[in-house]
Structure 1
Amino acid sequence: MDADQRIINGNESQYTTQNEPVTVDIVEELDVIKISDTEYRSKVPLKKPGPRVRGVYGGAFASQAILVAVRSSPPNFKPNAIHTFFAKKGLPDVLVTWKVQNISTGKTFANRSIQAIQNGEVRFTANVSLTTKNESSGDSITEKSLSFQGQRTSELENYTDVDQLKGYDVPDVHLSIRDFDEYESKDIYSYIIKYGINHKEKVLPIPPEFKYVAFTWITDWMSLNYAFVSRGQKVQINFNVSLDHSIYFHDDDFDATQWTGICLKTPIYLHNRCLIICELYNESGKHVASVVQERLFVTKPVEPKANL
């Protein structure tokens, strides 16, 4: 989903007339009802990220797919990866029916194939892998095994006061995003994000079952403009849409309501498609997840030398 400023003008007025934070309950917005072992249904329609957007927020589809996968698996399994495709725009006024196929359930891994259906049409598909081993704490085998992770950028490493950073909020989907004025890297765009509008929303305690659901929610907000800026290109984005969205959960030491640092890279854009790769870091600098997404776009150069 693109962080296009033209769509971020939704429910901001609800924060200007009251002093107390607005209460946000992710369970109320994303919970599902079990119809059978192979079918679930959303309790309420999924949200759009803004009034000018035609379809449902892609992160809402992915998050609810994670919940369905968890509900349809044994209780000790947690997601370790999800691979999704956006087939058609999601309808914000229609409940989602989720069809689940149990591909496999073993001792360590389980796999589920999931479809989101509205008005008889498949709108979104997901393949979810779950595992019993996604925690490093208390796991002697994991602690002794070979491990490596890269470093987050200096911007993410060194900032101290979030309130001094520029950025914006997206009230319709409860997201706060903050950017940096200067960047040391020439090909990585760094920013921080969290679930719950900073200082304006009070997020109710997130149940353990919804931990991955909430974190998945924040992974789908990345600006296509960031991708071009990271390559020194100045363009006007006239149209863009997510084609797919994949997440790899490396560890469960994360909290969607705390600031998550993102390092966004763009290895290629060609044929009006842009590949975006993001590394996600918790506040202590642990690389907890990675996201890969391809976007379809239509742009025109702001400057002749942009050559797009």
Structure 2
Amino acid sequence: MSKELPETPRELVTELLDVLDLERIEENLFRGQNTADAEFRLFGGQVIAQALVAASRTVADDRTAHSLHAYFMRPGAIDVPVIYQVERDRDGKSFSTRRVVAIQNGRPIFNMAVSFQIAEEGYEHQFDMPDVPAPEDLMPETQWRESFAHMVPAQFRDRFTRERSIDFRRVDPSPPGEGREPAQNIWFRVQGTVPDDQAVHRCLLAYASDMSLLSTCQRPHGLQWFTGEVQVASLDHALWFHAPFKADEWLLYVQDSPRASGARGLNRGSIYNREGVLVASVAQEGLIRPRG
């Protein structure tokens, strides 16, 4: 029997938190369910976030994730739970390292290395946050999508316009498919209250960090996934956490793509809170293969 599809932002956030609450089935072994709105293949951000949850549950409470590096190996099936196997590589005085393999039907679909660290003081510097309009002055993502829904094939229109657990506000709300520079700024936040647990907030940011980033390298070429002209998929994902934050408060995702070649596009992201603190950095290479 299929799951009932959540409709309101609160229901979507509740479902997302439930999906991230993995079932422990054995020491270092966890089972993750999929969201009800999954279509075609698993969303990469879900697998990243669930793998981070699994790794986080094997380290001491005084350590938080500061970096992860992941590879997508196979498309994930939406109707099969994902098993996460954690290897406890090392627990040092300051750092702990973990490796996670995501498995479906007996085959690995994804692997990730994660490093955790105790809280420490040290030298600090950062790039400044760009000066952009406040999220309250920008169009909600659902409104932006509805304004261009007529451009999307009918079979994808409901998927394109439905409500999401993450609220996005685009600084440049240009129509999809128009050629633009390989850069974009997007505010985002979880559409609901999140428990006061930094590990949960980091997993939610990991989930959201896979949204919109791959589209950055498509912008100069006017490419869209629904046209059938290009095959698109995340190949890898790296994420660094620099400072505490709240995923249910506005964060600015500053994205650029310095290069595309060999049917791959490189994308980078800097994530700031409203006070201008750089809280996380992201890098991802994605497949953008032309189709005949």
Shorter-normalised TM range: 0.7 to 0.9
Matches within 5 A, 1:14-33: 14-15=7-8, 22=11, 24-25=13-14, 26-33=16-23
Match for residue 220 of structure 1? 210
* Runs of 5+ unmatched residues, structure 1: 1-9, 134-138, 197-201, 301-308
- In structure 1, distance between residues paired with 2:102 and 2:171: 37
* Runs of 5+ unmatched residues, structure 2: 146-159, 175-179
Match for residue 73 of structure 2? 87
Question: How many equivalent pairs are there?
Answer: 263
- Deviation per CA, 1:250-277, whole angstroms, max 9, x where unpaired? 112x111122101111111001100001
Contact 1:82-1:246 at 8 Å conserved across structures = yes
- Deviation per CA, 1:68-93, whole angstroms, max 9, x where unpaired? 11111111110000111111111222
Shift of 1:195: 1.9
Q: Secondary structure at the match of 2:48?
A: helix
1:48/1:125 CA distance change after superposition, 3 Å: farther
- In structure 2, distance between residues paired with 1:160 and 1:23: 21
Contact 1:47-1:173 at 8 Å conserved across structures = no
Shift of 1:63: 0.6
Match for residue 55 of structure 2? 69
Q: Secondary structure at the match of 2:168?
A: strand
Contact 2:187-2:250 at 8 Å conserved across structures = yes
1:66/1:97 CA distance change after superposition, 3 Å: same
Match for residue 161 of structure 1? 136
Percent of counterpart pairs with the same letter?
A: 23
1:101/1:193 CA distance change after superposition, 3 Å: same
What one-letter code is carried by the residue in structure 2 that aligns with 1:154? D
Match for residue 3 of structure 1? none
Contact 1:48-1:55 at 8 Å conserved across structures = no
- The TM-score with structure 1 as length reference comes to 0.75
1:172/1:81 CA distance change after superposition, 3 Å: farther
1:148/1:49 CA distance change after superposition, 3 Å: farther
Say yes or no: does 1:248 pair with 2:244. Answer: no
Shift of 1:176: 1.8
Match for residue 112 of structure 1? 98
- In structure 2, distance between residues paired with 1:172 and 1:48: 13
Match for residue 190 of structure 1? 185
Match for residue 148 of structure 1? 125
Q: Secondary structure at the match of 1:279?
A: strand
Q: Secondary structure at the match of 2:247?
A: coil
Contact 1:281-1:287 at 8 Å conserved across structures = yes
Q: Secondary structure at the match of 2:81?
A: coil
- In structure 1, distance between residues paired with 2:254 and 2:87: 34
Q: Secondary structure at the match of 2:207?
A: helix
- In structure 1, distance between residues paired with 2:73 and 2:36: 16
- The TM-score with structure 2 as length reference comes to 0.79
- In structure 2, distance between residues paired with 1:50 and 1:294: 22
- Deviation per CA, 1:93-116, whole angstroms, max 9, x where unpaired? 212211111111011100001101
1:224/1:191 CA distance change after superposition, 3 Å: same
- In structure 2, distance between residues paired with 1:49 and 1:277: 27
- In structure 1, distance between residues paired with 2:259 and 2:36: 28
Say yes or no: does 1:283 pair with 2:274. Answer: yes
What one-letter code is carried by the residue in structure 1 that aligns with 2:72? F
C-alpha RMSD of the superposition: 2.9
Q: Secondary structure at the match of 1:154?
A: coil
Match for residue 306 of structure 1? none
Shift of 1:173: 5.2
Match for residue 153 of structure 2? none
